[in-house]
Amino acid sequence: MKKKSREFKSLEDQTFLYKTTFDPLIARLYNNKKCNQCNGRGYVIVQTPLEGISSLRKNQPTRNIQTYCKCVDKNVKKQRQAEWKNYKS
């Protein structure tokens, strides 16, 4: 019995997806107009299969996931660091 529960847990760990909220306004505020990855939009659209990444097959339905671009993450981090400096002083 214990072996089956361990196998089940490992399968759960492999299929776990971390979900975050996406706000297009934040992407628009903090984007870099000259970014080559997102072309200045501030977000990237990723297509993943509905069954998970392990089942990549041709002509299968996919879901589109919008994620922030690295340029947005970088600019948000810069602003937070500047706010923290101002808060400390």
Q: What percent of the chain is modeled with pLDDT above 90?
A: 43
Instruction: Report which residue type is found at 65.
Output: I
Q: Is the pLDDT at 4 greater than 60, yes or no? A: no
Domain for residue 9, yes or no? no
Number of domains in the chain: 1
Q: Which two tokens mark 78?
A: 């810069």
**Residue 8 to residue 65: CA distance in whole angstroms:** 27
Instruction: Evaluate whether residue 6 is within a structural domain.
Output: no
On whether residue 27 sits in a domain, the answer given is yes
- 10 lies in some domain: no
Domain that holds residue 57: 19-88
Whether 25 is in a domain gets the answer: yes
Contact 53, 62 (CB under 8 A): no
Tokens of 47: 């297509």
Average pLDDT, the chain: 81
44 backbone dihedrals φ, ψ, rounded to 5°: -125, 140
Stretch 27-36: mean pLDDT: 93
How far is it, in rounded angstroms, from Cα 51 to Cα 15?
Answer: 9
Task: Give me the pLDDT at residue 55, please.
Answer: 73
10 or 73, higher pLDDT? 73
pTM: 0.64
Report the SS3 class of residue 75: helix
